[in-house]
Chain A
């Protein structure tokens, strides 16, 4: 992994920068000793590690603003950080950058049931939002599997998903407003409690911008009423093609389940051994279909799904009869990563999305790749929206295996793009998929995105080295290549 060369002038000024930051935030908010910095050296993509120049943990928006303004004036880079659970290295520190952690922004500021929204600080965990409102029967819909730990600010930065986003949307569909500090220290607010803000949809632009456009200091999220009932169904199939076919038919029938997940044999075996969820061990693919809503609707749709399952050749079928049983059905899926962690010293998790119809083809090709690389691959996916999570198993202590696993992963992502899909469905580009951006985008495509970056952060001090494989200077990107008066009159139909 190649990161931008650290700026030696900044490294030399380290003591001075730390002292200045301490003066503006109160000394305890700045972390500079190597021991303490260790805690920040990586995020959820822990194969890459780097100590930051220093860490600042501001407590107020004014402090964030002061820190950014100072860094802007002194040309010091910033890496924003939420809970550090991201899986693509978006919060990976840089040797010459200040990591700005939002952990102290941990308060729920307002709950407004009449407008079905909550205003929270960015360090509040995803699950804590639901916990704050569930006594009134409300919840916050996007549910990434790290929801106990991951922060809402990080969710906005990554546009996080989860098993429920097939029916309820991603973070971007569930955020109403954001307060953000721009790199020059300016504080701006996008959206609010109203659903349609005016002007350019900058709220939509900053959601999923991976810390490249600003530092989020407040988030207004939409709350939904808990569905009256939820029941889960397990359907086992002898081939992954049959399971894939069942997924397409369910959606094709006009049924949008609350969750629609798929696991392959290796994954079923690993999770069943780990949590004993009652999964069948004699099938090649298992679907978990969750239906939520009014009881009468859930019962009605479960029957339809079961019928489709049988037509597609399901050899195993079970429906949860109690809330406890539903939780047990999900426990395997939700523990898929640690379960796979038990059968392999290391693994990396991929995150491509493909058109649903390509599922059998892609699974077949992944099997071939697995043989070719000599590495096992366990598959869990959000089958309903075509978002794959192949887990490539390897041993980091075996020389060359990490590189081999990374190449295997890159091949899977290329395959996703080849069949009309994308590099990442919910984990973000970060550093992990940065160098693959060219597989999906032309130089021209990437330039437009980077120009947007320049409008927010012309000196490119925010999270450099992430998302975009090549850094262009903003002045160069801004140049126009058409010279006045030198173009012939265009030959275009007129009317």
Chain B
């Protein structure tokens, strides 16, 4: 059958497209603006369900700290609107267009895509991930049934929390048509304290000291010298050495005091400096979106979640075996590793190391060929895989939504 590409403008269209897919046994590839098309296993699904025409803000009440948008609404549009009201998505949305070499399109993807991928940035440790900010949604399941879950309020335990199930499910269970997100005020003031010239172990100790202090640190990253030099922030890029950066946000008097406390706390580890608003914003944006590796070379990239205290050592061990470079965000809990060569080889080293301490690795960037044969998301334990397969079957029994995108078998 030739390619049937659907571009629904309302919920009923989505139902019809999915029912068509079921009746024809022709799976659909669910897409927004295509900014994350490089994420997940490569599949050769012939038909596209393009959600980008279902766009627009449906409800926004700044005083309620809530926004409801159609799933195809561009992230940049939402961020702009929130910014006008001095609010933000506190989990720091991660766009992948730059590392996928699509920066020129200026597209940071849709809200639906953001939720489907559950990619949170550097503030994740303090503010939580995307999953912690999804209050409710409307969707059409792989059965072609329209349904909703959650609501528009902060506190809600009415029924199972399907918002969590949808977040990070990569469009494999249902197609979201509307999402309600919690929004938060932008911090009045931001400071980033830098510590120069620390090694892996010192970096871990410095980040732990900062995160275990009462100073409400919102982010802590360790950039080894090879990565730090890729930063466009002068005080980091030109430092010619490794950098630990610690972010402090909040009301002005509080931030000034805490920044000075953190500086004295970390002074023993090395020379310190401070970034103010603009530089700080740039550094955390680079760090959240891994733009250090948006060089156009498309070296395979891994995103690895492990227990923070073991992150830097794990990165060092993996890289010493595979070559490449990387950095540790989330106080050591999130590694982004750029490893040249065939990812199938590095996958073994990574998965062994991660399995030894507990955690999860994602092949964030690789060629389509690689992604059609290699697991992009770490396979889970047998018990969880069986459970996940049953859940997939419950929501999408015919396998018409993004089959193979998360795991090869469903």
Binding site for B on A (CB under 8 A): 112-116, 137, 158-159, 161, 165-166, 169-170, 172-173, 182, 186-190, 192-205, 207-209, 212, 225-228, 248, 251-256, 293-294, 296-297, 300-301, 353-357, 382, 385-387, 420-429, 433, 437, 440-442, 444-449, 451-456, 467, 477-478, 480-487, 489-495
- B129, A195: Cβ atoms closer than 8 Å: yes
For A452, give its contact among B62, B162, B250, B333 (CB under 8 Å).
Answer: B162
Judged by a CB distance under 8 angstroms, whether B141 is at the interface is: yes
- B307, A192: Cβ atoms closer than 8 Å: yes
**24 A–B pairs (Cβ distance < 8 Å), ordered by A:** A161-B155, A172-B164, A196-B124, A197-B305, A199-B360, A200-B169, A201-B164, A205-B162, A300-B254, A355-B61, A356-B64, A357-B63, A385-B154, A422-B151, A424-B156, A425-B157, A426-B157, A429-B157, A449-B159, A452-B165, A453-B160, A455-B394, A482-B22, A487-B22
B175 to chain A, nearest CB (A): 13
Instruction: Choose the segment among B74-82, B208-216, B221-229 that binds chain A (4+ C-beta atoms closer than 8 Å).
Output: B208-216
A176 to chain B, nearest CB (A): 9
Instruction: Choose the segment among B8-16, B106-114, B193-201, B267-275 that binds chain A (4+ C-beta atoms closer than 8 Å).
Output: B8-16
Q: Which of B110-130 contact A (CB under 8 A)?
A: 118, 120, 124-125, 128-129
Judged by a CB distance under 8 angstroms, whether B148 is at the interface is: yes
Q: What string of 1s and 0s marks CB contacts (under 8 Å) between B158-202 and chain A?
A: 111111110111000110000000001110100000000000000
A-B contact count (CB 8 A): 309
Inter-chain CA distance A104–B366, complex, in Å, is: 49
Judged by a CB distance under 8 angstroms, whether B293 is at the interface is: no
For A170, give its contact among B64, B120, B155 (CB under 8 Å).
Answer: B155
Which residues of A are found within 8 Å of B235, using beta-carbon distances? Answer: none
Judged by a CB distance under 8 angstroms, whether B294 is at the interface is: no
Inter-chain CA distance A248–B397, complex, in Å, is: 45
Besides A199-B406, A226-B214, A448-B145, 5 other A-B contacts (C-beta < 8 A): A196-B360, A204-B164, A251-B65, A296-B253, A421-B151
| A194-B306, A426-B155 known; A200+B144 contact, CB < 8 A | no
- A195, B124: Cβ atoms closer than 8 Å: yes
Which residues of B are found within 8 Å of A447, using beta-carbon distances? Answer: 145, 147
For B394, give its contact among A207, A451, A493 (CB under 8 Å).
Answer: A451
- B6, A492: Cβ atoms closer than 8 Å: yes
- B23, A482: Cβ atoms closer than 8 Å: yes
- B155, A386: Cβ atoms closer than 8 Å: yes
Which residues of B are found within 8 Å of A189, using beta-carbon distances? Answer: 381, 384
Residue of B nearest to A439 (CB): B158
- B360, A194: Cβ atoms closer than 8 Å: yes
- B212, A197: Cβ atoms closer than 8 Å: no
- A422, B387: Cβ atoms closer than 8 Å: no
- B250, A187: Cβ atoms closer than 8 Å: no
- B390, A425: Cβ atoms closer than 8 Å: no
Residue of B nearest to A195 (CB): B333
Inter-chain CA distance A23–B288, complex, in Å, is: 55
Residue of B nearest to A453 (CB): B160
Judged by a CB distance under 8 angstroms, whether B19 is at the interface is: yes
Inter-chain CA distance A428–B157, complex, in Å, is: 6
B45 to chain A, nearest CB (A): 16
- A425, B307: Cβ atoms closer than 8 Å: no
Q: Which of B288-341 contact A (CB under 8 A)?
A: 305-309, 330, 333-334
Residue of B nearest to A455 (CB): B390
- A490, B153: Cβ atoms closer than 8 Å: no
Judged by a CB distance under 8 angstroms, whether B152 is at the interface is: yes
B377 to chain A, nearest CB (A): 5
Q: Which of B131-158 contact A (CB under 8 A)?
A: 131-132, 141, 143-149, 151-158
Nearest first, the 9 closest Cβ-Cβ pairs linking A and B are A204-B164, A254-B185, A297-B254, A490-B16, A198-B360, A193-B307, A425-B155, A114-B309, A455-B390
Which residues of B are found within 8 Å of A446, using beta-carbon distances? Answer: 159
For A493, give its contact among B8, B125, B143, B254 (CB under 8 Å).
Answer: B8
Inter-chain CA distance A166–B182, complex, in Å, is: 12
